[in-house]
Amino acid sequence: MIHVFLLFSLCFSDYGLIQGVTSLGINYGQVGNNLPPPDKVLDLLTALKLSKARIYDTNPQVLTTFANSNIELIVTVENQMLPVVMDPQQALQWVSTHIKPYFPATKITGIAVGNEIFTDDDTSLLGYLVPAIVSIHGALVQLGLDKYIQVSTPNSLAVLEVSYPPSAGSFKGEVSGVMSQFLQFLSSTGSPFWINAYPYFAYKDSPDKISLDYALFNKNPGMVDPYTKLHYDNMLYAQVDAVVYAMSRLGYGGIEVRVSETGWPSKGDSNEVGATVQNAAVYNRNLLRRQMSNEGTPLRPNMRLEVYLFALFNEDMKPGPTSERNYGLFQPDGTMAYNVGLSALATSSSTSSASISLTSSATKASKVEYQSLVYCMFLYLLTFQGFMRRQH
C-alpha cells in the first residue's frame, strides 16, 4: 500500500515556502518503472510551489496533464531525432505534432534540441545539431510561436577545455567551430546557453584537492580568481562563470547562462566518494537558499541565475553507476529521499491542499481528516521536543 505523507520540510528547515522564487525549476525524468502518473506529479509540483519543470521528451500524457496549470515546461527533442528535424519540413511537422496541439494551454517555454550533444559518444550527432536547432526555431517562427518558446541545447561542463580559474574558461578546440555557430544562433535569437553543471563530479574525481564545503555551498574561504580578483565561495558559480568567459573568448559575451541540471546523489558505489544522503541534502538545501535570494554569480551579480535541480524522483531504470539512480529529491512513492527544505504545506485556507498524496484511493474528506490529524500530531511532537530541550 502506498503511504500517505505530509511533506513537513518547512517545519524542519529555516527556508520556508519557495513561493516567489522565479529562478528555480526541477528536472522531471521518467526513466523508471515505478513512477507516479503525471497527474500526481503535477499535484506534487503544485504543492511544492514549483512553477518550472523540464522533461526529456514530449510525452503527450505529461503535456496534456500539465495543461491549464501554472507549470512552465521545457520539452526535449531526443538525440536520435536530430538527423530528422534538421530538415525544415520535418522540423515543421515535429513542432506541429509535438508542440502546437498543447500550446498555449500547456505553458511550453523552451525546447531543448538534444542533450549534451557536444560531448556525446556518437560524434556524428554534432554535425546535425545547429541545423536541427535552426530548423526547429524556423518552424516556431512559421507557426508564430517563436516569441513564446526559446530553443537551445543543454551542454555538459565537459565541453570546456579549461574551467579553472573561471576567467580562463575556454571551450575544447574540437568543438569550437560548431560552438561558434551555436552561439551565433543564441545571440541572434536571445536564447540562453544551458549548462549541466555538477560540482559533485569534480569533488568525486579529486576529493583530496577540492574542498567539500566549497562544493556544497557551505561556509568556506573560497577562492579568488587571480586575474579578475572576483571571490567565489562555491564551485557552481565558478563553473557558470567559466562558461561565460569561454563564450566571450569566441566573441559572444552577452549570452545568458542558465543551469539546466545540477544536483548531488544521495547514494553511490564504493568508489563514488561523497555520494551520501547528508551531502545531497546539504547541497540542494544550500542551493535552495541561494535561489531564494535570487542571486547572480560574482561575474554577473545583478542577473539572477536560473537553476533546474536534478531531479524530482529517483529513477530505477537509469543505466550506469548507482549514483545515476539516486539524484531524486523524492522516492517514486512520494516520500522524501531526504529533507531539502521544500514545503508542500499550503498557504491557502483550503485544508484539502494541505498535503500531497500519491494515492487516489481515499476520498477528499478522509484525506482532509487524516491530514489534520497528522499535522496536529506533528505540532504536538514539536512542542514536546521543545519542552524536553528546556529540561536539559
d(Cα 54, Cα 48) in Å, to the nearest integer? Answer: 15
Residue 8's pLDDT band, with cuts at 50, 70 and 90, is very low
**Residue 125: its H or E element:** none
Cell numbers placing 36: 507516479
Q: What is the pLDDT of residue 123?
A: 95
Q: Report whether 306 contacts 240 (CB < 8 A).
A: no
Mean pLDDT throughout 154-173? Answer: 98
Helical segments of the chain, H only: 9-12, 38-47, 60-65, 82-85, 88-98, 126-142, 176-189, 199-205, 212-216, 235-249, 277-292, 364-390
Is residue 294 included in any domain, yes or no? yes
| Residue (of 327, 48, 30) closest to 198 by Cα position | 327
Least confident segment among 20-34, 61-75, 209-223, 309-323: 20-34
Q: Is the pLDDT of residue 354 over 70?
A: no
DSSP state of 126: H
231-246: b or e for each residue (b if 16 or more CB lie within 10 Å)? ebbbbbbbbbbbbbbb
Is residue 115 included in any domain, yes or no? no
Is residue 381 included in any domain, yes or no? no
* 116 a catalytic residue: yes
Out of 72, 261, 272, 306, the active site residue is 261
Pseudo-torsion of CA 12, 14, 20, 25, nearest 10°? Answer: -60
The predicted model scores a pTM of: 0.84
Report the CATH number at residue 264.
3.20.20.80
Domain count, the chain: 1
Tens digits of per-residue pLDDT, 89-109? 999 999 999 999 999 999 999
Tens digits of per-residue pLDDT, 364-384? 333 434 444 444 444 444 443
Q: Report whether 256 contacts 196 (CB < 8 A).
A: no
Q: What is the pLDDT of residue 22?
A: 67
Is residue 147 included in any domain, yes or no? no
d(Cα 91, Cα 82) in Å, to the nearest integer? Answer: 9
Q: What is the pLDDT of residue 367?
A: 40
- 17 or 111, which is more confident? 111
DSSP state of 15: -
Q: What is the pLDDT of residue 389?
A: 45
d(Cα 77, Cα 94) in Å, to the nearest integer? Answer: 9
Residue 155's pLDDT band, with cuts at 50, 70 and 90, is very high
Average pLDDT, the chain: 86
Q: Report whether 26 contacts 308 (CB < 8 A).
A: yes
Tens digits of per-residue pLDDT, 190-213? 999 999 999 999 999 999 999 999
Q: What is the pLDDT of residue 319?
A: 97
Is residue 182 included in any domain, yes or no? yes
Tens digits of per-residue pLDDT, 300-333? 999 999 999 999 999 999 999 999 999 999 999 9
Out of 72, 78, 116, 324, the active site residue is 116
Q: What is the pLDDT of residue 248?
A: 98
Q: Is the pLDDT of residue 279 over 90?
A: yes
Give the residue numbers spanning the domain of 49. 24-54+153-348
Q: What is the pLDDT of residue 149?
A: 98
27-52: b or e for each residue (b if 16 or more CB lie within 10 Å)? bbbbebeebbebebbbbbbbbbbbbb
* 324 a catalytic residue: no
Residue 21's pLDDT band, with cuts at 50, 70 and 90, is low
Is residue 98 included in any domain, yes or no? no
Least confident segment among 22-31, 116-125, 184-193, 306-315: 22-31
Is residue 148 included in any domain, yes or no? no
Is residue 10 included in any domain, yes or no? no
